[in-house]
Amino acid sequence: MSSFPGKGKVAVLKTSPLTVLDDIEQVMKLAGFEEALPKKIKTGLKINISWQTWYPACSSAPWQLEGVIRTLQNAGYTDLVGIHNDTVVVDTSDGERNNKHRFITDKYKVPCLYLYNQDFEWIEYQPKRPFLVLDKVYPDGVFIPKSLVGMNIIHLPTVKTHVFTTITGAMKNAFGGLLHRNRHWTHAVIHDTLVDLLMIQQEIHPGIFAMMDGTFAGDGPGPRAMRWHEKDILLASSDQVAIDAVSAKLQGFDPMSLRFIRLAHEMDLGVGDPSQIEILGYDIEQEPDWNFKKEDTFASRGQHMIYHGPLKPFEKLLLQSPLVPWSYFASNFYHNVYWYPFVGRKRVAAALDTKWGQLFQFYGDGTVVMPGTEPKTVLQALVGLTVLIAGAIGLVSVLRKQRPR
Protein backbone atom coordinates (compact mmCIF):
# COMPACT_ATOMS: atom_id res chain seq x y z
CA MET A 1 0.00 0.00 0.00
CA SER A 2 1.29 3.47 -0.86
CA SER A 3 0.84 6.34 1.57
CA PHE A 4 1.83 9.93 0.90
CA PRO A 5 0.69 13.44 1.91
CA GLY A 6 -2.34 14.56 -0.09
CA LYS A 7 -3.42 11.11 -1.23
CA GLY A 8 -7.01 11.24 -2.47
CA LYS A 9 -7.10 15.07 -2.53
CA VAL A 10 -7.33 17.34 -5.58
CA ALA A 11 -7.48 21.14 -5.54
CA VAL A 12 -9.47 22.87 -8.28
CA LEU A 13 -9.88 26.57 -9.01
CA LYS A 14 -11.42 28.70 -11.73
CA THR A 15 -9.07 31.36 -13.05
CA SER A 16 -8.56 34.25 -15.49
CA PRO A 17 -5.56 35.73 -17.32
CA LEU A 18 -5.38 38.60 -14.81
CA THR A 19 -5.15 36.31 -11.78
CA VAL A 20 -3.70 33.08 -13.16
CA LEU A 21 -0.25 33.33 -11.53
CA ASP A 22 -1.76 34.02 -8.10
CA ASP A 23 -4.37 31.32 -8.69
CA ILE A 24 -1.67 28.76 -9.46
CA GLU A 25 -0.02 29.57 -6.14
CA GLN A 26 -3.37 29.24 -4.37
CA VAL A 27 -4.29 25.92 -5.99
CA MET A 28 -0.86 24.49 -5.20
CA LYS A 29 -1.18 25.56 -1.57
CA LEU A 30 -4.66 24.05 -1.34
CA ALA A 31 -3.21 20.78 -2.62
CA GLY A 32 -0.42 20.89 -0.01
CA PHE A 33 2.63 21.08 -2.26
CA GLU A 34 5.02 21.88 0.60
CA GLU A 35 3.95 18.77 2.49
CA ALA A 36 4.36 16.65 -0.65
CA LEU A 37 7.73 18.01 -1.82
CA PRO A 38 10.79 17.97 0.49
CA LYS A 39 12.49 21.35 0.25
CA LYS A 40 16.20 20.61 0.49
CA ILE A 41 16.55 18.46 -2.62
CA LYS A 42 16.47 19.18 -6.34
CA THR A 43 12.98 19.58 -7.79
CA GLY A 44 12.37 18.79 -11.45
CA LEU A 45 9.63 20.38 -13.52
CA LYS A 46 8.51 17.84 -16.14
CA ILE A 47 7.42 20.15 -18.95
CA ASN A 48 5.07 18.69 -21.52
CA ILE A 49 5.72 19.34 -25.22
CA SER A 50 3.34 17.37 -27.41
CA TRP A 51 4.04 19.49 -30.50
CA GLN A 52 6.87 21.80 -31.47
CA THR A 53 4.19 24.19 -32.76
CA TRP A 54 1.99 26.05 -30.29
CA TYR A 55 -1.55 24.70 -30.26
CA PRO A 56 -4.07 25.42 -27.47
CA ALA A 57 -4.15 22.76 -24.70
CA CYS A 58 -1.49 20.70 -26.47
CA SER A 59 1.62 21.48 -24.38
CA SER A 60 2.35 23.07 -21.00
CA ALA A 61 1.20 26.71 -21.02
CA PRO A 62 3.81 29.42 -20.33
CA TRP A 63 1.71 30.84 -17.47
CA GLN A 64 1.47 27.33 -16.03
CA LEU A 65 5.26 27.00 -15.98
CA GLU A 66 5.75 30.54 -14.71
CA GLY A 67 3.16 30.19 -11.96
CA VAL A 68 4.70 26.96 -10.67
CA ILE A 69 8.26 28.33 -10.73
CA ARG A 70 7.21 31.54 -9.00
CA THR A 71 5.27 29.63 -6.33
CA LEU A 72 8.18 27.29 -5.62
CA GLN A 73 10.76 30.08 -5.45
CA ASN A 74 8.53 32.13 -3.15
CA ALA A 75 8.27 29.08 -0.87
CA GLY A 76 12.04 28.63 -0.67
CA TYR A 77 12.66 25.94 -3.27
CA THR A 78 15.99 27.11 -4.66
CA ASP A 79 17.21 24.08 -6.60
CA LEU A 80 14.84 23.86 -9.58
CA VAL A 81 15.44 22.31 -12.97
CA GLY A 82 13.28 22.02 -16.08
CA ILE A 83 13.11 18.54 -17.62
CA HIS A 84 12.63 17.95 -21.33
CA ASN A 85 12.44 14.77 -23.36
CA ASP A 86 12.23 14.49 -27.13
CA THR A 87 10.07 12.26 -29.27
CA VAL A 88 10.56 10.76 -32.69
CA VAL A 89 8.00 13.21 -34.13
CA VAL A 90 8.56 16.39 -32.06
CA ASP A 91 11.60 18.68 -32.08
CA THR A 92 11.98 19.78 -28.45
CA SER A 93 14.42 22.62 -29.15
CA ASP A 94 11.84 24.24 -31.45
CA GLY A 95 9.04 23.29 -29.09
CA GLU A 96 10.40 25.03 -26.01
CA ARG A 97 10.86 28.23 -28.03
CA ASN A 98 7.53 28.13 -29.87
CA ASN A 99 5.61 27.27 -26.68
CA LYS A 100 7.54 30.05 -24.83
CA HIS A 101 8.91 27.67 -22.21
CA ARG A 102 12.49 28.81 -22.83
CA PHE A 103 11.47 32.41 -22.21
CA ILE A 104 10.15 31.43 -18.75
CA THR A 105 13.06 29.22 -17.67
CA ASP A 106 15.53 31.91 -18.77
CA LYS A 107 13.54 34.64 -16.99
CA TYR A 108 13.61 32.76 -13.68
CA LYS A 109 17.14 31.40 -14.21
CA VAL A 110 16.01 27.78 -14.10
CA PRO A 111 18.40 25.44 -15.95
CA CYS A 112 17.01 22.59 -18.03
CA LEU A 113 17.92 18.94 -18.49
CA TYR A 114 17.51 17.50 -21.98
CA LEU A 115 17.21 13.79 -21.42
CA TYR A 116 17.76 12.96 -25.09
CA ASN A 117 21.34 14.26 -25.00
CA GLN A 118 23.97 11.56 -25.15
CA ASP A 119 25.68 12.70 -21.93
CA PHE A 120 22.85 11.41 -19.74
CA GLU A 121 23.37 8.03 -18.12
CA TRP A 122 20.51 5.54 -18.32
CA ILE A 123 20.56 2.86 -15.64
CA GLU A 124 18.75 -0.46 -15.47
CA TYR A 125 15.92 -0.30 -12.96
CA GLN A 126 14.98 -3.20 -10.73
CA PRO A 127 11.50 -2.64 -9.24
CA LYS A 128 10.58 -3.47 -5.67
CA ARG A 129 7.31 -4.97 -6.88
CA PRO A 130 6.89 -6.88 -10.17
CA PHE A 131 6.22 -4.92 -13.35
CA LEU A 132 2.93 -5.43 -15.14
CA VAL A 133 4.39 -5.21 -18.65
CA LEU A 134 7.64 -3.26 -18.93
CA ASP A 135 9.89 -6.27 -18.37
CA LYS A 136 8.09 -8.06 -21.20
CA VAL A 137 8.33 -5.10 -23.58
CA TYR A 138 12.01 -4.65 -22.72
CA PRO A 139 13.35 -8.15 -21.98
CA ASP A 140 16.93 -6.84 -22.02
CA GLY A 141 16.19 -4.48 -19.12
CA VAL A 142 14.14 -1.40 -18.24
CA PHE A 143 16.37 1.68 -18.26
CA ILE A 144 15.60 5.08 -16.70
CA PRO A 145 17.60 8.35 -16.48
CA LYS A 146 19.96 8.19 -13.49
CA SER A 147 19.64 11.96 -13.01
CA LEU A 148 15.96 11.66 -12.04
CA VAL A 149 16.57 9.26 -9.16
CA GLY A 150 16.26 11.03 -5.79
CA MET A 151 14.71 14.15 -7.32
CA ASN A 152 11.28 15.64 -6.56
CA ILE A 153 9.13 15.72 -9.69
CA ILE A 154 6.34 18.11 -10.63
CA HIS A 155 4.30 17.24 -13.70
CA LEU A 156 2.88 20.01 -15.88
CA PRO A 157 0.18 18.36 -18.05
CA THR A 158 -2.84 19.96 -19.69
CA VAL A 159 -6.48 18.87 -19.71
CA LYS A 160 -6.99 17.00 -22.97
CA THR A 161 -8.01 13.78 -24.68
CA HIS A 162 -5.68 11.20 -26.21
CA VAL A 163 -6.09 8.75 -29.08
CA PHE A 164 -4.64 5.84 -27.07
CA THR A 165 -5.58 6.51 -23.43
CA THR A 166 -8.83 8.54 -23.87
CA ILE A 167 -7.43 11.26 -21.61
CA THR A 168 -3.84 12.21 -20.90
CA GLY A 169 -2.62 13.92 -17.77
CA ALA A 170 -0.22 13.52 -14.87
CA MET A 171 0.38 9.77 -15.21
CA LYS A 172 1.01 9.99 -18.97
CA ASN A 173 3.37 12.93 -18.43
CA ALA A 174 5.98 10.55 -16.97
CA PHE A 175 5.98 8.56 -20.22
CA GLY A 176 8.47 10.81 -21.97
CA GLY A 177 10.78 11.37 -19.03
CA LEU A 178 11.28 7.85 -17.74
CA LEU A 179 11.39 5.92 -21.02
CA HIS A 180 13.82 6.51 -23.88
CA ARG A 181 13.11 6.76 -27.62
CA ASN A 182 11.83 3.21 -27.94
CA ARG A 183 8.91 4.04 -25.64
CA HIS A 184 6.56 3.69 -28.62
CA TRP A 185 7.08 -0.06 -28.22
CA THR A 186 4.74 0.14 -25.22
CA HIS A 187 1.74 1.62 -27.07
CA ALA A 188 0.03 -1.74 -27.40
CA VAL A 189 0.03 -1.98 -23.57
CA ILE A 190 0.01 1.72 -22.80
CA HIS A 191 -2.43 1.59 -19.86
CA ASP A 192 -0.38 -0.99 -17.96
CA THR A 193 2.78 0.91 -18.89
CA LEU A 194 1.50 4.07 -17.19
CA VAL A 195 0.85 2.08 -14.02
CA ASP A 196 4.35 0.60 -14.13
CA LEU A 197 5.77 4.10 -14.55
CA LEU A 198 3.82 5.37 -11.55
CA MET A 199 5.23 2.50 -9.49
CA ILE A 200 8.73 3.53 -10.57
CA GLN A 201 8.05 7.17 -9.70
CA GLN A 202 6.83 6.33 -6.23
CA GLU A 203 10.05 4.39 -5.65
CA ILE A 204 12.58 6.92 -7.03
CA HIS A 205 11.07 10.35 -6.26
CA PRO A 206 10.95 11.64 -2.66
CA GLY A 207 8.03 13.86 -3.68
CA ILE A 208 5.59 13.85 -6.62
CA PHE A 209 3.16 16.63 -7.53
CA ALA A 210 1.14 17.78 -10.54
CA MET A 211 -0.22 21.16 -11.55
CA MET A 212 -2.60 20.67 -14.48
CA ASP A 213 -3.67 23.50 -16.77
CA GLY A 214 -7.22 23.60 -18.12
CA THR A 215 -7.35 27.25 -19.18
CA PHE A 216 -7.55 25.85 -22.69
CA ALA A 217 -8.72 22.22 -22.78
CA GLY A 218 -8.76 19.94 -25.82
CA ASP A 219 -11.15 17.25 -27.01
CA GLY A 220 -11.23 14.98 -30.03
CA PRO A 221 -8.13 13.28 -31.45
CA GLY A 222 -5.59 14.45 -28.87
CA PRO A 223 -2.91 15.19 -27.99
CA ARG A 224 -2.47 17.37 -31.09
CA ALA A 225 -5.32 17.51 -33.61
CA MET A 226 -7.91 18.67 -31.07
CA ARG A 227 -10.77 21.12 -30.77
CA TRP A 228 -9.83 23.69 -28.14
CA HIS A 229 -12.19 25.07 -25.50
CA GLU A 230 -11.74 27.82 -22.93
CA LYS A 231 -12.44 26.18 -19.57
CA ASP A 232 -10.60 28.57 -17.21
CA ILE A 233 -9.69 25.83 -14.74
CA LEU A 234 -6.63 24.73 -12.76
CA LEU A 235 -6.03 21.46 -10.91
CA ALA A 236 -3.29 20.43 -8.49
CA SER A 237 -2.54 17.31 -6.47
CA SER A 238 0.19 15.08 -5.11
CA ASP A 239 -2.00 12.12 -6.15
CA GLN A 240 -1.38 11.46 -9.85
CA VAL A 241 -4.26 8.99 -10.06
CA ALA A 242 -6.76 11.33 -8.40
CA ILE A 243 -5.90 14.38 -10.50
CA ASP A 244 -6.26 12.34 -13.70
CA ALA A 245 -9.58 10.98 -12.42
CA VAL A 246 -10.92 14.48 -11.74
CA SER A 247 -9.72 15.65 -15.16
CA ALA A 248 -11.47 12.68 -16.78
CA LYS A 249 -14.67 13.39 -14.86
CA LEU A 250 -14.63 17.05 -15.93
CA GLN A 251 -14.21 15.99 -19.54
CA GLY A 252 -17.23 13.71 -19.28
CA PHE A 253 -15.57 10.30 -18.96
CA ASP A 254 -16.03 7.72 -16.22
CA PRO A 255 -12.54 7.58 -14.63
CA MET A 256 -12.87 3.99 -13.46
CA SER A 257 -13.67 2.87 -17.00
CA LEU A 258 -10.17 3.98 -18.06
CA ARG A 259 -7.86 1.01 -17.51
CA PHE A 260 -4.82 2.95 -16.29
CA ILE A 261 -6.84 4.82 -13.65
CA ARG A 262 -8.72 1.72 -12.52
CA LEU A 263 -5.56 -0.40 -12.28
CA ALA A 264 -3.67 2.26 -10.34
CA HIS A 265 -6.62 2.62 -7.98
CA GLU A 266 -6.90 -1.14 -7.45
CA MET A 267 -3.15 -1.35 -6.76
CA ASP A 268 -3.50 1.47 -4.21
CA LEU A 269 -1.08 3.77 -6.04
CA GLY A 270 -3.61 6.57 -5.67
CA VAL A 271 -7.35 7.19 -5.61
CA GLY A 272 -9.20 6.88 -8.92
CA ASP A 273 -12.81 6.54 -7.72
CA PRO A 274 -14.34 10.06 -7.74
CA SER A 275 -16.60 9.15 -4.80
CA GLN A 276 -13.45 8.68 -2.69
CA ILE A 277 -11.66 11.86 -3.79
CA GLU A 278 -11.78 15.03 -1.68
CA ILE A 279 -11.99 18.08 -3.93
CA LEU A 280 -10.79 21.36 -2.41
CA GLY A 281 -11.65 24.81 -3.75
CA TYR A 282 -14.06 24.91 -6.68
CA ASP A 283 -17.07 22.59 -6.57
CA ILE A 284 -16.85 20.78 -9.90
CA GLU A 285 -20.46 19.59 -9.55
CA GLN A 286 -21.56 23.10 -10.56
CA GLU A 287 -19.46 22.92 -13.74
CA PRO A 288 -21.58 22.53 -16.91
CA ASP A 289 -21.07 19.24 -18.76
CA TRP A 290 -18.11 19.35 -21.12
CA ASN A 291 -19.11 16.29 -23.16
CA PHE A 292 -15.63 15.78 -24.59
CA LYS A 293 -15.16 13.02 -27.15
CA LYS A 294 -12.20 10.74 -27.71
CA GLU A 295 -11.62 10.41 -31.47
CA ASP A 296 -8.96 9.09 -33.81
CA THR A 297 -6.98 10.63 -36.62
CA PHE A 298 -6.16 8.87 -39.87
CA ALA A 299 -2.69 8.20 -38.44
CA SER A 300 -3.92 6.80 -35.12
CA ARG A 301 -6.40 4.49 -36.86
CA GLY A 302 -3.44 2.91 -38.60
CA GLN A 303 -1.61 2.58 -35.30
CA HIS A 304 -4.62 0.91 -33.69
CA MET A 305 -4.59 -1.64 -36.54
CA ILE A 306 -0.99 -2.43 -35.65
CA TYR A 307 -1.43 -2.55 -31.88
CA HIS A 308 -4.80 -4.27 -31.64
CA GLY A 309 -6.07 -5.07 -35.14
CA PRO A 310 -5.30 -7.13 -38.23
CA LEU A 311 -1.70 -5.88 -38.45
CA LYS A 312 -0.85 -7.06 -34.92
CA PRO A 313 1.23 -10.04 -36.21
CA PHE A 314 3.51 -7.51 -37.96
CA GLU A 315 3.93 -5.16 -34.98
CA LYS A 316 7.61 -5.93 -34.42
CA LEU A 317 8.37 -5.76 -38.13
CA LEU A 318 6.66 -2.37 -38.51
CA LEU A 319 7.73 -0.75 -35.22
CA GLN A 320 10.89 -2.54 -34.06
CA SER A 321 12.87 -3.05 -37.25
CA PRO A 322 14.63 -0.95 -39.93
CA LEU A 323 11.16 -0.25 -41.33
CA VAL A 324 10.22 1.76 -38.23
CA PRO A 325 10.94 5.25 -39.72
CA TRP A 326 7.79 4.84 -41.84
CA SER A 327 5.63 5.57 -38.78
CA TYR A 328 7.56 8.74 -37.91
CA PHE A 329 7.17 10.07 -41.43
CA ALA A 330 3.50 9.12 -41.56
CA SER A 331 2.82 11.08 -38.37
CA ASN A 332 4.91 14.02 -39.56
CA PHE A 333 3.13 14.07 -42.90
CA TYR A 334 -0.35 13.95 -41.36
CA HIS A 335 0.17 16.53 -38.62
CA ASN A 336 2.68 18.95 -40.11
CA VAL A 337 2.02 18.81 -43.85
CA TYR A 338 -1.71 18.25 -43.92
CA TRP A 339 -3.49 18.88 -40.60
CA TYR A 340 -1.82 21.98 -39.21
CA PRO A 341 -1.52 24.03 -42.44
CA PHE A 342 -5.06 23.23 -43.63
CA VAL A 343 -6.99 22.77 -40.35
CA GLY A 344 -4.92 23.79 -37.35
CA ARG A 345 -3.83 27.25 -38.50
CA LYS A 346 -7.43 28.49 -38.64
CA ARG A 347 -8.09 27.15 -35.15
CA VAL A 348 -4.92 28.75 -33.79
CA ALA A 349 -5.83 32.08 -35.38
CA ALA A 350 -9.24 31.93 -33.70
CA ALA A 351 -7.66 30.98 -30.36
CA LEU A 352 -5.34 34.00 -30.52
CA ASP A 353 -8.41 36.24 -30.41
CA THR A 354 -9.45 34.80 -27.04
CA LYS A 355 -8.31 36.08 -23.64
CA TRP A 356 -5.90 33.16 -23.21
CA GLY A 357 -4.59 33.50 -26.74
CA GLN A 358 -3.85 37.16 -26.08
CA LEU A 359 -2.03 36.20 -22.89
CA PHE A 360 0.05 33.68 -24.84
CA GLN A 361 1.09 36.41 -27.27
CA PHE A 362 2.17 38.55 -24.32
CA TYR A 363 5.00 36.15 -23.50
CA GLY A 364 8.43 36.52 -25.05
CA ASP A 365 8.70 38.85 -28.01
CA GLY A 366 4.99 38.59 -28.81
CA THR A 367 5.39 36.46 -31.91
CA VAL A 368 3.46 33.26 -32.52
CA VAL A 369 4.95 30.70 -34.90
CA MET A 370 2.23 29.43 -37.23
CA PRO A 371 3.97 27.27 -39.82
CA GLY A 372 2.45 26.61 -43.19
CA THR A 373 3.44 24.06 -45.79
CA GLU A 374 7.14 24.92 -45.60
CA PRO A 375 9.70 23.56 -48.11
CA LYS A 376 11.54 21.73 -45.29
CA THR A 377 8.34 20.01 -44.18
CA VAL A 378 7.35 19.12 -47.73
CA LEU A 379 10.79 17.60 -48.31
CA GLN A 380 10.43 15.54 -45.12
CA ALA A 381 7.04 14.38 -46.34
CA LEU A 382 8.42 13.33 -49.73
CA VAL A 383 11.16 11.34 -48.01
CA GLY A 384 8.49 9.84 -45.79
CA LEU A 385 6.34 8.82 -48.73
CA THR A 386 9.36 7.14 -50.29
CA VAL A 387 9.96 5.22 -47.07
CA LEU A 388 6.27 4.33 -46.88
CA ILE A 389 6.33 2.90 -50.39
CA ALA A 390 9.52 0.96 -49.65
CA GLY A 391 8.00 -0.35 -46.43
CA ALA A 392 4.82 -1.41 -48.21
CA ILE A 393 6.83 -3.26 -50.84
CA GLY A 394 8.83 -4.95 -48.07
CA LEU A 395 5.66 -5.95 -46.21
CA VAL A 396 4.11 -7.41 -49.36
CA SER A 397 7.30 -9.37 -49.94
CA VAL A 398 7.18 -10.78 -46.39
CA LEU A 399 3.50 -11.71 -46.75
CA ARG A 400 4.19 -13.54 -50.00
CA LYS A 401 6.98 -15.55 -48.40
CA GLN A 402 4.69 -16.50 -45.52
CA ARG A 403 1.81 -17.56 -47.81
CA PRO A 404 1.30 -21.34 -47.83
CA ARG A 405 2.42 -22.92 -51.09
- pTM of the predicted structure, to 2 decimals: 0.89
Q: For residues 44 and 153, is the Cβ–Cβ distance under 8 A?
A: yes
Which residues have a Cβ under 8 Å from the Cβ of 167 and sit 6 or more positions away?
A: 160, 161, 244, 247, 248, 251, 253, 258, 294
- Mean pLDDT to the nearest integer, 214-234: 96
Over residues 220-239, mean pLDDT: 96
| Percent of residues, the chain, with pLDDT higher than 90 | 71
Report the alpha-carbon distance of residue 395 to residue 187 in Å, rounded.
21
* pLDDT computed for residue 391 by the predictor: 57
Q: Is the peptide bond before 223 cis (omega within 30 degrees of 0)?
A: yes
pLDDT for the residue numbered 302 = 55
Q: Is the pLDDT of residue 198 over 80?
A: yes
pLDDT of residue 103: 97
Q: Of all helices (H) and strands (E), which one includes residue 305?
A: helix 298-308
Helix (DSSP H) and strand (DSSP E) numbers for the chain: 16, 12
Q: Which residues contact 246 (CB under 8 A, 6 or more apart)?
A: 10, 12, 235, 237, 255, 274, 277, 279, 284
Give tens-digit pLDDT for 102-158.
Answer: 999 999 999 999 988 767 899 999 999 999 999 999 999 999 999 999 999 999 999
**Domains of the chain and any CATH numbers:** 9-296 (3.40.50), 299-400 (no CATH)
User: Does the structure show a pLDDT above 80 at 253?
Assistant: yes
